[in-house]
Amino acid sequence: MKLLVNGKSRDFNAKTVEELIIDLKLNNRMLYIQLNGKPIKKEEYKTAMLKENDCIDIISAVGGG
């Protein structure tokens, strides 16, 4: 199904937020995730279901001064 992840439209097989971050190989990272503008807590990754055209923002820490 098509998902809009960080502004880019892509096809994914993932059905939950957890499956999505595993697909993206981000599952061991500290992340901040919003699903359609709503923050998703880590303990909700498993139960947060995805549907066609959902908009997901994934933020992580990067190098900075």
The residues binding other proteins (CB under 8 A) are: 5-8, 10, 24-26, 28-32, 39, 42, 57-65
CB of 36 to other proteins, least distance (A): 16
- For residue 46 the two structure tokens come to 């498993």
Task: State the minimum distance, in angstroms, from the CB of residue 1 to other proteins.
Answer: 16
Amino acid in the structure at residue 53:
N
Measured from the CB atom, the residue of 16 and 57 that comes closer to other proteins is 57
Based on C-alpha coordinates, what's the Rg of the chain? Answer: 11
* Dist CA 11 CA 31 (whole Å): 21
**Closer residue to other proteins, CB minimum distance, 2 or 10:** 10
Q: How far is CA 24 from CA 3, 5, 65, in A?
A: 13, 10, 26
Q: Which is nearer to other proteins, 4 or 16 (CB)?
A: 4
